[in-house]
Amino acid sequence: MATALVLIGVSGCGKTSIGQALSEQLGWPFYDGDDFHSPENVYKMSKGIPLNDVDRTNWLETLHDLITEKLRADENLVVACSALKAKYRQQLRFGNEGLIFVFLKGDFDLIWSRMQTRNDHYMKPEMLISQFNTLETPSKALVVNIDQAVETIIQEIIGYLGSEPYFNQDNERE
């Protein structure tokens, strides 16, 4: 069965850099959820306006369809998607057996300091507060602390791929 690793967490937690590195290590294609936002969503975020549930509906639907298409074709993939709320994760998971959420967990100060160095991203550091306020910590995900080297994080994730308890049916729904 194919696997979709969906890296989740607030903006600035490393979803893209870890996703790209994981993709290279595993030889799986990487899809950055940010690339699937509508121009209207990008505009809102670039103006410091947090997205609401309505803004995210089509975006999540598009990502769900991408994951479904790849898994049905028996293709593995890595996806970066904030999926801050349980209902967003449920939408992505619906009908997608083989989907694994990896929650990239970090504290506000660490992520804030990282976001201060980004110049070319539409998500402004000031919006990090709204991301943390929206975040519903996942109960059914591999939790990886981001206060370590990218290579260590990658090895931790890969180490879980073959662990039987992680694929337990009880972990399929949040």
> Distance (Å, rounded) from C-alpha 109 to C-alpha 166?
30
3-state class (DSSP) for residue 141? coil
State pLDDT tens for residues 44-63.
Answer: 887 878 888 999 999 999 99
State pLDDT tens for residues 21-38.
Answer: 999 999 999 999 999 999
29 falls within a domain: yes
**Of residues 19, 36, 23, the one with CA closest to residue 80:** 19
CATH code: domain of residue 134: 3.40.50.300
Inform me whether the pLDDT recorded for 167 exceeds 70. no
168 falls within a domain: no
What average pLDDT does the segment 133-153 reach?
94
171 falls within a domain: no
Helical segments of 13-120, H only: 15-26, 39-46, 53-72, 86-93, 108-115
Domain count, the chain: 1
> Distance (Å, rounded) from C-alpha 24 to C-alpha 18?
10
